[in-house]
Structure 1
Amino acid sequence: MNILALDIGLRRTGVAFCSADTGVPIALSTVFHVSEDELISQILSLVKDRDIHTVVCGLPLLPGGEEGSQCIHVHSVAEALEDLGIHVSLLDERYSTPTLSDVDPDAAAACQLLLTFCDRQKRGS
């Protein structure tokens, strides 16, 4: 199963991809967008181009586990994708953004989401 992970922001979204063939997540280029519609359009292109079966969206919960204002945007994008027939899974993304300065933090966060998702799938949780 090919999986796409998204670290969704208001203007930029980190993207990672995991191929069913390799099982190894790779960070893709960060997607820059000015609207939710533009983001959805770019995600749809990735889904079609890479034969994606599942899209994992990071859910930016607050440190206490409750949903903050950014979660509204993520839910909106996830629902729009589901309305288009795409299987979406939400995953707690707290503490997934790396502190290394030489990597794209958005794409790396998406890659970390994908690693966590794949690990949970293997364990059946």
Structure 2
Amino acid sequence: MRILALDVGDKTIGVAVTDPCGLTAQGLEVLIRTEEGEDARRVLELARQFQVEEVVVGLPRTLAGEIGPQAQKVLRFGELLAQQGLKIKYWDERFTTKEAEKVLLAADVSRKKRRRVKDILAAVLLLEAYLERRRSEAEPI
């Protein structure tokens, strides 16, 4: 079972996908945002291409855990994807972009390269956290 993960921002969408067994996460690409309907169409194409069964969308809650303006935009985009028949799951991703930046800095990646891969890495980290939670919930006690 493949899962697609999206780190949705105002300017870009970082995309990651699992392997066919749904065990590991790989960065796929960064979509440059255009118009919401067009963005949804491109995500739908990727979902079909990789035969995904669900899409995990990072939900950027506020530090207090609330749904702020950015999270509302993401929820609207997720709803648009759901209307196209995709199974949508939301995942708290408050710190994935910051974590991605830290990983890239620690790896001494240049500023120019960091800009290009930060969103993909954020989607990978989001997907890895989601997969880890699924595995821990599936393990017998």
Q: Please report the TM-score for the alignment, with normalisation by the length of structure 2.
A: 0.83
- In the TM superposition, residue 11 of structure 1 has moved relative to its aligned partner by 2.0
Q: Which residue of 2 is the match for residue 122 of structure 1?
A: 135
CA distance in 1 between partners of 2:84 and 2:47 (Å): 11
1:15-45 deviations in whole A, cap 9, x for unaligned?
0010233621011110012111111011011
CA distance in 1 between partners of 2:23 and 2:39 (Å): 26
Q: How many residues were matched structurally?
A: 125
Equivalent positions of 1:81-92 (< 5 A) are 81-92=81-92
Q: Which residue of 2 is the match for residue 59 of structure 1?
A: 59
Percent of residue pairs bearing the same amino acid type: 31
RMSD (CA atoms):
1.4
Equivalent positions of 1:1-125 (< 5 A) are 1-21=1-21, 23-97=23-97, 98-99=100-101, 100-101=104-105, 102=109, 103=114, 104-124=117-137
Is the Cα contact below 8 Å between 1:11 and 1:35 reproduced in 2? no
Deviates more, 1:52-61 or 1:33-42: 33-42
For structure 1, the residue ranges without an aligned partner over 5 or more in a row are none
Rg larger in structure: 2
Moved over 2 A (4+): none
Greater percentage in helix: 2
- In the TM superposition, residue 77 of structure 1 has moved relative to its aligned partner by 1.1
2:13 is paired with a residue of what secondary structure? strand
For structure 2, the residue ranges without an aligned partner over 5 or more in a row are none
